[in-house]
Amino acid sequence: MRSHRLVISAEYLLIAWACSGCTARPPTIAHVHIGHAITGVHVTPHEDGYFVVAERQAKAVYELSTQAASTEDLAMIKADIAAAVKANESDPDFGVKHAIVMAANHITFAATSDDSSVNVQRSAPAFAAHVPRVVERCDLITLLGGDVAGSQSVAEATVSVQQIRKLAQANISGEGSATGGKMSDVPSEYGLAQLRQELDAMIARERPPYRTVDQWYLFNLVRLPNGKWVFDKLGRGGNIEGYK
């Protein structure tokens, strides 16, 4: 009887092993890179995806500049704008500029992966080409932030603060929205909202369908010295250099 139970148990283990092999198929390298942009990566604050970080930081820049525009205290204006510039520019904190550039890099990595679909190969270059306008606005925000820091009066500072606020809003939803209009469909006026739509549309076209990538794969993709991307089977958390 005991040996019979052992045989049954062994059969169940084999079935479980076979089933797990069917459901635990690794994602494509291309899809892991897409996941780094929209789901998670181990080097960002809170381990969020690069594009998600860019969206959150862009919102912070807008809120801080709006707060600065609503006060008559020069010291508070300067403090709010300094915080906005940090959320806009900081590399260590993955400000808007750094985060969106990294998102574009990983969508490009996805397109150049050996297992990339034709859909991603065609979509990634357009996405990357539409990112520079956001970067340009980030650079302008940083320059204007320097003007605020050097301002001698509230009136002087307010001129730059209003421009920063307008640029921050455009980075969120495009240039048309910054002037009270509808969301722009002109690539040279895109903000993160339009770029998000491009990513969503690319993902919706994937065949086989894109699935949210498990954290283990997101955090354990490494790049070998020869440039090849592989999964670290020892699960040591990836290599930071592989993401730059």
- DSSP secondary structure string for all residues of 8-23: HHHHHHHHHHHHHHHH
Mean pLDDT of 2-14: 42
Q: Which of 45-54, 62-71, 228-237 has the lowest mean pLDDT?
A: 228-237
Asked if residues 55 and 197 have their Cβ atoms less than 8 Å apart, the reply is no
Taking the mean position of all CA atoms in its chain, how far away is CA 173?
A: 16
Asked if residues 100 and 57 have their Cβ atoms less than 8 Å apart, the reply is no
How many other C-beta atoms can be found within 10 angstroms of the C-beta atom of residue 168?
Answer: 27
Q: How far is CA 220 from CA 38, 101, 224, 238, in A?
A: 16, 21, 12, 4
pLDDT at residue 239, rounded to an integer = 53
As a whole-number percent, the residues of the chain with pLDDT over 90 amount to: 74
The DSSP secondary-structure symbol of 138 reads H
| Residue 11 pLDDT grade (very low, low, confident, very high; cuts 50, 70, 90) | very low
Q: Per-residue pLDDT for 113 more than 70? A: yes
Give the predicted TM-score (pTM) of the model. Answer: 0.85
What confidence tens digit (pLDDT) does each residue in 121-139 have?
999 999 999 999 999 999 9
Asked if residues 51 and 199 have their Cβ atoms less than 8 Å apart, the reply is yes
Asked if residues 62 and 138 have their Cβ atoms less than 8 Å apart, the reply is no
